[in-house]
């Protein structure tokens, strides 16, 4: 599978930065899946579990409570969490 860049950040630190073959994130209207070559989008995140399938190694799973934004553009997904 083709991979894309993912950055998960809070105001304090970078939680994850690396390549992923898929991303599933909790959005206002339910969980949203993102893959390589996904159409550009911006979504509001809500509390829940973010799951990444990494190119190599174990999946990355992050539980967060709060809000945030997801931006997908040019094979890069940026998650900004509060």
Name the token pair of 69: 């934004």
Q: What value does the mean pLDDT take over residues 29-34? A: 96
What pLDDT is attached to residue 75?
97
What pLDDT is attached to residue 4?
97
- Model pLDDT for residues 39-76, shown as the tens digit of each residue: 999 999 999 999 999 988 899 999 999 999 999 999 99
Spell out the residues 6+ positions from residue 80 whose beta carbon is closer than 8 angstroms to its own. 9, 10, 68, 69, 71
- Quickly list H helices, the chain: none
């Amino acid at each position: 599978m083709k991979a894309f860049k993912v950055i998960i950040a809070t105001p304090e630190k970078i939680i994850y930065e690396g390549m992923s073959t898929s991303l599933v994130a909790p959005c206002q209207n339910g969980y949203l899946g993102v893959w390589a070559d996904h159409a550009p989008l911006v979504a509001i995140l809500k509390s829940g579990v973010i799951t990444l399938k990494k190119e190599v190694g174990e999946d990355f799973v992050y539980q967060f409570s709060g809000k945030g934004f997801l931006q997908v553009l040019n094979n890069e997904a940026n998650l900004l969490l509060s």
